[in-house]
Structure 1
Amino acid sequence: MAEVSRRPPLLSILIALAGAAFFLVPLIATFNFSLRMTRGELSFAAYRSVFESDTFLSVLGFSTVASLMAIALGALIVVPTAYWVRLRLPHMRPLIEFLSLMPLIIPPVVLVFGYVRLYGTSSILPLTMTETGTNILLVIGYVVLSVPYMYRAVDNGMAAIDIATLTEAAESLGASRPRTIAFVIFPNIRSAIVSGAFLTFSISLGEFVITSLLNRPAFGPYLVQMGQDYAYQPAALAIMAFAFTWVCMVLMELFATRRPGQRLLQWRAPRTVEKAKS
């Protein structure tokens, strides 16, 4: 029988090219526009203008710190929750998964107005009356927005390991449940946590609604304000944000494709582990 050559269908190639052009053509046009700040030549003057701005460095630093705090708080909430649901409450998984999708259903503007009403001047805990309290609300808002992505990343990471066996092994060596989560579960799903962390960081860095309504000096409102006042600098900021997001996506893919290592109880002394094996 003659071997049939496998050629990719022409229609699939055309659809892929059309999809790529739909994303790449506006991106190339934006990048080309960002290089035309100096009349008659292509230059990176708009990028230099952005980096020389003290406001840019300030809002970028604020957003970075807030995003990192949201990543830490989200991991501390999501990892024990996903661990306990998989270990002891498997029948609750559909409900937990549904609840984790609520931030995608409820608009952020509703969420932030709820914060203002709940923690405003007439509440028992008026967080919006102080700068620190408002920053705490901002971080909590970032955590809520990132829950759908962080939870699924962590849950998929736990599906790749045998958490029941790891928990039994840790408990047989005298580990408490918090110690098991911190020194056994966390190291084994670190790639999943990193994937969720990159998604959280990219979402928090460009978030506008919550940040703007809480009046915080972050990157999202700064980008919108630059778009109202300047022509070329917003295009440069958009390209920089796009490049940063793709770097996060590439790093997420690299960490996500690594299989979780079976780290067993490194918090114990090697002699104790050898004694347990024998």
Structure 2
Amino acid sequence: MSRRFPILSALIALIGAAFFIVPLIATFNFSLRMKRGELSFEAYRSVFDSDVFLGVLGFSATASLMAILMGVLIVVPTAYWVRLRVPRARPVIEFLSLMPLIIPPVVLVFGYVRLYGSSSILPLTMTEAGTNVLLVIGYVVLSVPYMYRAVDNGMAAIDIATLTEAAESLGASRLRTIVFVIFPNIRSAIMSGAFLTFSISLGEFVITSLLNRPAFGPYLVQMGQDFAYQPAALAIMAFAFTWICMVLMEAFATRKPGQRLLPWRAPRSVTKAKS
């Protein structure tokens, strides 16, 4: 007996998809009408011809990559240590990792300015380099809930205790174990968190604007105030870039962890024992 086609479920799915797709199509169609009476990519050409666009995109990409690097260096050892040594503290660490979702970014950035302003011991906001460092720190804080969840789930899929014991039995230090054993086995989880971090940081507006940094988020808002068609083109490009990140994240997330346990050659006795 053949199953009946789920008409109601399909209808709900179509309505939900139309809720997102129809505005996107309308925005794309509007972005093509910069030239009166014809469809063209003039708005996109205008955006790419702007030196300001290339500058803010490069600045945001650099800051986002720095945030990814800093986040990985902080989150991976923390999640590893909590799972290996203090598993009872996991609920506390998970709660702390969710704090950036609770605290509004405007409160966060005003706290940064207050702590690292001209009257503090470490006045980061007094120089451009210091303000950029503060911006990267803000990106890292905003991405912690996503990076920590991705890394923690990746570690849950492997036996880190056994991997650690195997590495230490071959003479590896704890740092070498994290770098050459744990990192390769959770690389798909790290990439997932990295793509999420990049997507969040690239379009962030509040912290970037209040710190007066030339990034993509404030640039998009400013373009929306001054022009009509270019902001629509920027919105479509940002949407496409986000979806590319999501597709790459899914591709890395569905890959199996690395099969190679250790990057160095095991002793001959160990190899014979395995065979």
- Shorter-normalised TM range: over 0.9
Alignment of 1:102 with 2:96, yes or no, is no
Alignment of 1:276 with 2:270, yes or no, is yes
The alpha-carbon deviation at position 6 of structure 1 amounts to 1.5
Number of aligned residue pairs: 272
Alignment of 1:259 with 2:273, yes or no, is no
Q: How does 1:36-115 map to 2 (within 5 A)?
A: 36-115=33-112
Q: Deviations over 1:7-30 (max 9, x none)?
A: 232221111111001000000000
What amino acid is the match of 2:51?
A: D
Distance in structure 2 (CA, Å) of the matches to 1:109 and 1:142: 13
Distance in structure 2 (CA, Å) of the matches to 1:48 and 1:122: 46
Alignment partner of 1:201 out of 193, 198, 203: 198
Q: Deviations over 1:107-135 (max 9, x none)?
A: 00000000000000110000000000000
* Matched residue, 2:147: 150
Alignment of 1:122 with 2:116, yes or no, is no
Structure 2: runs of 5 or more not aligned: none
| CA RMSD after TM alignment | 0.9
Distance in structure 1 (CA, Å) of the matches to 2:267 and 2:246: 38
> CA 1:273/1:226 → structure 2, altered by over 3 Å: closer, same or farther?
farther
Alignment of 1:8 with 2:2, yes or no, is no
> CA 1:274/1:7 → structure 2, altered by over 3 Å: closer, same or farther?
farther
- Deviates most, 5-14 or 117-126: 5-14
The alpha-carbon deviation at position 167 of structure 1 amounts to 0.2
Alignment of 1:173 with 2:175, yes or no, is no
* Matched residue, 2:31: 34
Q: Deviations over 1:197-229 (max 9, x none)?
A: 000000000000000000000000000000000
Alignment of 1:225 with 2:222, yes or no, is yes
The alpha-carbon deviation at position 263 of structure 1 amounts to 2.2
Structure 1: runs of 5 or more not aligned: none
Distance in structure 1 (CA, Å) of the matches to 2:226 and 2:246: 30
Q: How does 1:210-221 map to 2 (within 5 A)?
A: 210-221=207-218
Q: How does 1:123-142 map to 2 (within 5 A)?
A: 123-142=120-139
- Percent identity, aligned pairs only, is 85
What amino acid is the match of 1:38?
A: K
Q: Deviations over 1:186-207 (max 9, x none)?
A: 0110010000000000000000
Q: Which runs of 4+ in 1 moved over 4 A?
A: none
What amino acid is the match of 2:191?
A: V
Secondary structure of residue in 2 paired with 1:120: coil
What amino acid is the match of 2:52?
A: T
Distance in structure 2 (CA, Å) of the matches to 1:276 and 1:106: 51
TM-score (norm 2): 0.97
